[in-house]
């Protein structure tokens, strides 16, 4: 009797100790034995929070809160795929850890910001700002300010858009107000070297860099056309492509600016949203001539290629923002239309493209769709979701 009672007491004490220990240790969203290759984040723009995603289980595994105004927020990943840098509209830069679900650092770096990029070697994080117009460079580890580069032309500050990383710890970006493209070489972060391209066209509104880091393309809002720079040319210079693609036609109102960062390249063609027309433009990437235009359901916002380039997925500005269309790049025909929920804001492919995750802001969910059968694989709750960013971006240039 006596020993057994003692044993019970002992067991209870051990249990209490273990429970107390668990409560004291930080809970992990991702267990230690797992890697980071299949994680992701979804921005919850109104509540200033992030949903942490598992793209293999197709589940939401946690929430990170306290990030401020996340309208138009975007994310870049550190090389380990576990740490992400979130650029908020309100100018805050927040470093989060997807494994722990914790905020590891946060700086209020500007009044109004639109996104950012991370350097090739992962040591520098750069924010592009509307107010004050320019870029700011931070130590990726500590978030200490390394360089502040105002985008001032003729005494006037310009809003910065279309920021992308280039090889050699360089960054390229466009000046919306000044109509220029700048490259900041941060090989020596303490002494940035700037290269400026002037008169690139009116109102560059967003831009992209090709996955090889060779070509930078800025969309122009104020003109029918795009500005292209071949960064491997010596010296690089700006060329106009698709000049006058809407000539002679009254442009339709643009209720939301297209985004170019979803860069759609499929074989030898690039697929781009037209401004002020309900069309996707197809360009030959050898000649940079237009080869086709595909009529679509509305003003395209994101035109994104599945990683293999076989399909291009398109979403639209209000009032057509409940629709997503899929173009087969071989036949250049729309092969599928779906309505995953009201106000589709973003799409993100899994690393090898078997599924696409689509955020529907007003429907309050993220839909996971099989890209071969177009079947819905999962619907996950999210509060006003916008951008979706998978950790596989850590390994890609220009994202």
Q: Can residue 173 be called a binding residue for other proteins (CB under 8 A)?
A: no
Q: Can residue 261 be called a binding residue for other proteins (CB under 8 A)?
A: no
Both tokens assigned to 6: 């003692």
Q: Can residue 114 be called a binding residue for other proteins (CB under 8 A)?
A: yes
Residues 71-90 that bind other proteins (CB under 8 A): 71-72, 89-90
Q: Can residue 297 be called a binding residue for other proteins (CB under 8 A)?
A: no
Q: Can residue 255 be called a binding residue for other proteins (CB under 8 A)?
A: yes
d(CA 378, CA 59): 8
Q: Give the sign of the dihedral formed by CA 34, CA 93, CA 363, CA 298.
A: negative
**Residue in this structure with the two tokens 């210079």, named with its chain if needed:** 237
Q: Can residue 319 be called a binding residue for other proteins (CB under 8 A)?
A: yes
CA dihedral 389, 390, 394, 398 (to 10 degrees): -50
Q: Can residue 343 be called a binding residue for other proteins (CB under 8 A)?
A: yes
Q: Can residue 159 be called a binding residue for other proteins (CB under 8 A)?
A: yes
Q: Can residue 330 be called a binding residue for other proteins (CB under 8 A)?
A: no
E-strand ranges in 306-343 read 311-316, 324-328, 333-338
Q: How many secondary structure helices (H) and strands (E) does the chain include?
A: 1, 34
Q: Can residue 323 be called a binding residue for other proteins (CB under 8 A)?
A: no
Task: Pick from 306, 361, 365, 393 the residue near other proteins by CB under 8 A.
Answer: 361
Distances (CA, A) of 155 to 1, 150, 172: 90, 11, 21
Both tokens assigned to 205: 């509104």
Task: Pick from 28, 36, 46, 397 the residue near other proteins by CB under 8 A.
Answer: 46
What is the SS3 assignment for 40? strand
Task: Pick from 85, 87, 173, 176 the residue near other proteins by CB under 8 A.
Answer: 176
Number of Cβ within a 10 Å radius of residue 21: 9
Q: Can residue 352 be called a binding residue for other proteins (CB under 8 A)?
A: no
Q: Can residue 288 be called a binding residue for other proteins (CB under 8 A)?
A: no
Both tokens assigned to 1: 């009797």
Q: Binding segment for other proteins among 63-71, 75-83, 95-103, 328-336 (CB under 8 A)?
A: 63-71
Termini Cα distance of the chain: 68
Task: Pick from 112, 139, 284, 285 the residue near other proteins by CB under 8 A.
Answer: 112
What single DSSP character describes residue 393?
Answer: G
C-beta closer to other proteins: residue 78 or 273: 273
Applying CB under 8 A, the residues found at the interface with other proteins are 45-49, 65, 69, 71-72, 89-90, 112, 114, 130-131, 159, 161, 176, 203, 205, 221, 253-257, 318-319, 343, 361-362, 383-384
């Amino acid at each position: 009797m006596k020993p057994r009672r003692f044993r019970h007491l002992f067991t209870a004490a051990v249990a209490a100790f273990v429970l107390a220990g668990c409560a004291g240790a930080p809970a992990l969203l991702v267990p230690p034995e797992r890697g980071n290759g299949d994680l992701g984040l979804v921005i919850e723009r109104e509540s200033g929070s992030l949903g942490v995603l598992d793209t293999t289980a197709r589940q939401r595994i946690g929430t990170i809160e306290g990030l401020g105004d996340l309208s138009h927020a975007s994310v870049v990943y550190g090389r380990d795929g576990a740490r992400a840098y979130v650029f908020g509209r309100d100018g805050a830069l927040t470093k989060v850890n997807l494994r722990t679900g914790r905020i590891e650092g946060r700086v209020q770096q500007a009044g109004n910001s639109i996104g950012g990029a991370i350097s090739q070697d992962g040591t520098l994080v750069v924010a592009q700002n509307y107010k004050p117009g320019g870029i700011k460079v931070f130590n990726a580890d500590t978030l200490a300010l390394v360089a502040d580069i105002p985008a001032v032309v003729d005494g006037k500050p310009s809003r910065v858009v279309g920021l992308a990383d280039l090889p050699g710890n360089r960054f390229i970006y466009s000046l919306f107000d000044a109509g220029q493209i700048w490259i900041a070489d941060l090989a020596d972060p303490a002494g940035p070297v700037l290269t400026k391209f002037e008169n690139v066209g009116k109102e560059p509104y967003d831009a992209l860099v090709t996955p090889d880091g060779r070509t930078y393309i800025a969309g122009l809002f104020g003109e029918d056309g795009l500005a292209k720079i071949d960064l491997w040319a010596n010296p690089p210079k700006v060329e106009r492509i698709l000049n006058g693609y809407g000539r002679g036609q009254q442009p339709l109102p643009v209720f939301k600016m297209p985004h170019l960062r979803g860069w759609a390249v499929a074989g030898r063609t690039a697929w781009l949203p037209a401004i002020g027309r309900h069309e996707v433009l197809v360009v030959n990437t050898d000649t940079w001539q237009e080869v086709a235009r595909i009529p679509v359901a509305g003003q395209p916002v994101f035109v994104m290629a599945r990683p293999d380039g076989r399909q291009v997925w398109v979403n639209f500005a209000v009032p057509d923002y409940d629709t997503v269309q899929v173009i087969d790049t071989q036949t250049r025909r729309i092969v599928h239309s779906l309505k995953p929920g009201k106000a589709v804001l973003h799409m993100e492919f899994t690393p090898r493209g078997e599924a696409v995750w689509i955020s529907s802001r007003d429907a309050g969910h993220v839909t996971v769709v099989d890209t071969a059968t177009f079947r819905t694989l999962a619907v996950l709750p999210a509060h006003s979701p916008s951008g979706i960013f998978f950790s596989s971006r850590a390994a890609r240039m220009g994202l």
